[in-house]
Amino acid sequence: MSPPVLDLKGQPALVTGASSGIGLAVAKGLARAGARVAVNYHSDREGGERIARAITDEGGTAIAVGGDVSREEDVERIVAETVAAFGTLHILVANAGLQRDAAFHEMSLDDWRRVIDVNLTGQFLCARAAVREFLRRGREPEVSRALGKIVCISSVHEVIPWAGHVNYAASKGGVMLMMKSLAQEVAEQGIRVNSIAPGAIRTPINREAWETPQAEAALLRLIPYGRVGDPDDIAKAAIWLASDESDYVTGASLFVDGGMTLYPGFRDGG
């Protein structure tokens, strides 16, 4: 067996929501592995351009592409701009997501819709545009064994119910079955579709869960491995899922969560 090669040499990649947190780390990680990266940002143009510049300063290749993943015309343009810059697309990391938390009886229809629109419909729109580009381009076996690779950033809340966050958990549960159904549908065309389901990762989305020692101590009770995750923990998994080293993996949710899904409440015997 040859040694593992996590080399994405020149593969065009799109990472959505890449101006902060996990998306930022994934964009930088893919670029360090050799991919040419389109850094999608929503409203933080300066942030998106700064990340793209940081990648090129390190010797990588990147462009910044603005747009809202919940809007069909934006997603079509984001992918068109990526293809115009890099010739095609081989890797999509559908990462953009948000929370709008509320007690269920106080949750507005707007809060429900916005979370479903970005976290679930956004993944549908991005994955559809990517699949269309993979099929248009056809096989490039010298680039990758797969016709294309899609990595959905889901959450442990695709399986863990989450009171006060019903819209978010519903969106991530939806991502799980969208991903698996799509993986089943396009496997015969050579497209691999997987999810990464992060546990608690230190990013702006969950700042209040880790920024004080008391909050972090409470959070750590849910994490058997004993530390809060870093965005790079997710980036490393994304590089592997985008590479030929995971070529026989499709339709999988890879939990990168320090054991959060291992029912930590049962550690003391239940």
Pick between residue 11 and residue 253 the one whose CB is nearest to ligand NAD. Answer: 253
In the bound complex, what is the minimum distance in angstroms from residue 199's beta carbon to ligand NAD?
A: 6
Q: Residue 111 CA to chain centroid, in angstroms?
A: 21
Torsional sign, CA 229, 19, 192, 31: negative
Q: CA-CA distance, 117 to 85, in Å (whole number)? A: 27
Residues in contact with ligand NAD, shown as a per-residue x/- string from 147 to 186 under the rule CB under 6 A: ------x-x-------------------------------
Tokens of 254: 């890879």
In the bound complex, what is the minimum distance in angstroms from residue 161's beta carbon to ligand NAD?
A: 14
Residue 235 in contact with ligand NAD, rule: CB under 6 A = no
Distances in Å between the alpha carbon of 226 and those of 143, 157, 200, 258, 259?
Answer: 39, 19, 11, 7, 9
Pick between residue 90 and residue 157 the one whose CB is nearest to ligand NAD. Answer: 157
Residue 62 in contact with ligand NAD, rule: CB under 6 A = no
In the bound complex, what is the minimum distance in angstroms from residue 250's beta carbon to ligand NAD?
A: 20
Q: Which of 52, 55, 63, 69 binds ligand NAD (CB under 6 A)?
A: 69
Stretch that binds ligand NAD, among 2-10, 138-146, 186-194, 198-206 (CB under 6 A): 198-206
Q: Maximum CA pair distance of the chain?
A: 57
248 catalytic? Reply is: no
Taking alpha carbons only, the member of 38, 84, 95, 88 closest to residue 64 is 38
In the bound complex, what is the minimum distance in angstroms from residue 83's beta carbon to ligand NAD?
A: 18
**Which residues, 6 or more positions from 85, have their beta carbon under 8 angstroms from its beta carbon?**
12, 36, 38, 63
Q: Of the residues 168, 225, 248, 263, which is catalytic?
A: 168
Q: CA-CA distance, 100 to 114, in Å (whole number)? A: 8
Active site residues: 168
Write out the residues near ligand NAD by the rule CB under 6 A: 16-17, 19-23, 40, 42, 68-70, 95-98, 118, 153, 155, 198, 200-201, 203-206
